[in-house]
């Protein structure tokens, strides 16, 4: 085991060959905008999928498509085995506890399949929040959060009388830890925070906040939608109570995501959705429920997608965090350097030492949406919007930002093409310099 949990690198930074890696991704071979090569700088919205993931999904649909956990025929066994192998892979990837070793808890798992981060957070807000929040108790948020980690808490606050408080940001777009003591009190019951901002790229000090939250008896939900695909995540070392992420941002399919939760919390929660697969028994007037994870997996799961997510994790592990980290650092450094040279460009958020490979910026005199459509003519895909983070844009005092978000499959040449296209867009808008 290395310091990143159970994940071992098979490609070192020296042997990392980005052109070879790019050949694993059919989408990156696409030509768009009058035959120009696609320059995909929108991984923060969704990542491209390697052939290995596409093949695994096809294999499932062609060779062992059946429903899981029900029935007795051979296909059930095969598909259930594949699904549970994917769950185990996710558990190892997040370094969650091995419950069967602990307590012979064969069928019990802390890894729940959901449809994505949004669903995972809604599950906790409803299934935990409704039973554990009382009027006047507090949920601590901050303005870095994606709407997926704000709106569910507003909904449960409205239902329970709980109160949302907002930890301020520093001028650089980081959490203001000096004010944390004033906001973390015995009234705080839940701290919900992103490990990495989808707009500013800010990496938050999750471990420290979890320790301090636990000191006052609060639980912590970590939104790992942006962090899990770009850095090692060790649920046990973090001591997170809940952690959510989406398969599609981790080079896997859409429609599948994960909620990790400590077993003791999951056991104390009511189910979120009712239906097939989650019950022990059903009577006329009540039902009894299975233990986690099945208690929270009502209905038919996105089976091929879950199995595809397992293949995505295999793929990421075959590259390894060292190579991923070094490539993404290089892209981030190049992007900050190139964009800083362009007159009128403001990069929002912290310096590169405190962020992941996401760069949100504005260009004086060029509205973000216009910039986005201008770049699209060069085959460059970025995102231009509020990125589902309206409170953060209000804090930034802009309606929208342009966002380039990178993955290990991007190249420094693509960063240079982005900078050149921004210069041309400025010329189109007749801006000097
Ligand atoms: C930080 C963060 N949280 C939550 C989400 C929501 O993810 P999903 O739409 O996959 O549920 C996103 C998506 O962009 C995100 O970036």
38 in a structural domain: yes
Residues 249 and 337 in one domain: no
Give the CA-trace dihedral at 200, 174, 95, 213, to 10 degrees. Answer: -140
- Which helix (H) or strand (E) element contains residue 32? strand 31-32
Residues 78 and 116 in one domain: yes
Q: pLDDT tens for residues 13-38?
A: 678 999 999 999 999 999 998 999 99
Q: Is 60 a catalytic residue?
A: no
Residue 388 CB burial class (10 angstroms; 0-12, 13-18, ≥19): middle
Residues 223 and 79 in one domain: yes
Would the pTM count as exceeding 0.85?
yes
> Residue 87 C-alpha to ligand 1 middle, in angstroms?
21
Residues of the chain with pLDDT under 70: 1-10, 13, 100-106
- Name the residue among 380, 368, 367, 373 with its Cα closest to residue 419: 380
- Name the residue among 368, 357, 366, 370 with its Cα closest to residue 404: 357
What are the φ/ψ torsions at residue 114 (nearest 5 degrees)? -130, -170
11 in a structural domain: no
Token readout for 288 is 């009894």
Residues 142 and 206 in one domain: yes
Number of domains in the chain: 2
Token readout for 182 is 């004033």
> Residue 148 C-alpha to ligand 1 middle, in angstroms?
6
198 in a structural domain: yes
**Minimum-distance ligand 1 atom for the alpha carbon of 46:** 14
Q: What is the pLDDT of residue 350?
A: 98
Q: pLDDT tens for residues 304-333?
A: 999 999 999 999 999 999 999 999 999 999
Q: Point out the domain boundary residue: 316, 336, 363.
A: 316
Q: What is the CATH number of the domain that holds 219?
A: 3.40.640.10
Residues 207 and 174 in one domain: yes
Residues 290 and 325 in one domain: no
Q: Whose CA is nearest to atom 9 of ligand 1?
A: 118
Cα–chain center distance at 388: 13
d(CA 226, CA 357): 10
d(CA 387, CA 45): 9
12 in a structural domain: no
Q: What is the pLDDT of residue 103?
A: 60
4 in a structural domain: no
3 in a structural domain: no
Beta strands in 242-351 (DSSP E): 242-246, 257-261, 279-282, 287-289, 345-347
Residues 306 and 351 in one domain: no
CB 258 within 8 A of CB 73: no
Q: Point out the domain boundary residue: 316, 346, 379.
A: 316
Q: What is the pLDDT of residue 98?
A: 85
Residues 92 and 32 in one domain: no
Q: pLDDT tens for residues 77-104?
A: 999 999 999 999 999 999 999 886 656 5
Q: Point out the domain boundary residue: 258, 290, 316.
A: 316
Q: Which residues pair with 37 in a beta bridge?
A: 31
Residues 112 and 240 in one domain: yes
Among the options 151, 279, 388, 431, which is catalytic?
388
d(CA 243, CA 191): 12
1 in a structural domain: no
d(CA 243, CA 91): 12
Q: What is the pLDDT of residue 101?
A: 63
Residues 90 and 237 in one domain: yes
Residue to mutate, 143, 148, 193, 250, ligand 1, most ligand atoms under 8 Å from C-beta: 148
Residues 339 and 420 in one domain: yes
Residues 163 and 26 in one domain: no
Structural domain containing residue 242: 57-316
What are the φ/ψ torsions at residue 43 (nearest 5 degrees)? -65, -25
7 preceded by cis ω (within 30°)?
Answer: no
131: which DSSP letter? Answer: H
Q: What is the CATH number of the domain that holds 351?
A: 3.90.1150.10
């Amino acid at each position: 085991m290395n310091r990143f949990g159970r994940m071992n690198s098979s490609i070192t930074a020296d042997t990392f060959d980005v052109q070879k890696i790019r050949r694993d991704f059919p989408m990156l071979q696409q030509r768009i905008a009058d035959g120009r090569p696609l320059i995909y700088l929108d991984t923060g919205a969704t990542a491209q999928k390697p052939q290995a993931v596409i093949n695994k999904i096809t294999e499932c649909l062609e060779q062992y498509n059946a429903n899981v956990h029900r029935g007795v025929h051979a296909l059930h066994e095969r598909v259930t085995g594949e699904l549970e192998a994917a769950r185990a892979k996710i558990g190892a990837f997040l370094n969650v506890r091995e419950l069967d070793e602990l307590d012979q808890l064969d069928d019990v798992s802390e890894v729940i399949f959901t449809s994505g981060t949004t669903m995972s957070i809604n599950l906790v807000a409803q299934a935990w929040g409704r039973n554990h929040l009382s009027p006047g108790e507090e949920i601590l948020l901050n303005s870095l959060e994606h709407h997926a980690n704000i709106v569910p808490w507003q909904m449960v606050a409205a239902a329970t009388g709980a109160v949302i408080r907002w930890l301020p940001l520093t001028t650089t777009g980081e959490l203001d830890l000096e004010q944390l003591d004033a906001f973390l009190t015995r009234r705080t019951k839940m701290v919900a925070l992103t490990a990495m901002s989808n707009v500013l790229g800010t990496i938050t000090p999750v471990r420290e906040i979890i320790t301090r939250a636990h000191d006052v008896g609060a639980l912590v939900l970590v939104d790992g939608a942006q962090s899990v695909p770009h850095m090692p995540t060790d649920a046990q070392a973090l001591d997170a109570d809940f952690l959510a992420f989406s398969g599609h941002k981790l080079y896997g399919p859409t429609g599948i995501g994960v909620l990790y939760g400590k077993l003791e919390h999951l056991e104390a929660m009511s189910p979120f959705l009712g239906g097939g697969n989650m019950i022990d028994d059903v009577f006329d007037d009540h039902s009894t429920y299975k233990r986690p994870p099945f208690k929270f997996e009502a209905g038919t799961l996105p089976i091929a997608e879950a199995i595809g997510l397992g293949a995505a994790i295999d793929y990421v592990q075959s590259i390894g965090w060292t190579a991923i980290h070094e490539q993404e650092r290089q892209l981030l450094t190049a992007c900050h350097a190139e964009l800083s040279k362009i007159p009128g460009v403001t990069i929002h958020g912290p310096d590169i030492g405190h962020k992941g490979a996401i760069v949100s910026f504005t260009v004086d005199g060029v509205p973000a949406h216009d910039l986005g459509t201008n770049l699209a003519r060069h085959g460059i895909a970025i995102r231009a919007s509020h990125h589902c983070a309206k409170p953060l844009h209000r804090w930034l005092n802009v309606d929208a930002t342009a966002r380039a978000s990178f993955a290990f499959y991007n190249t420094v040449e693509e960063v240079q093409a982005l900078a050149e296209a921004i210069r041309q867009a400025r010329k189109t808008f007749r801006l000097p310099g």
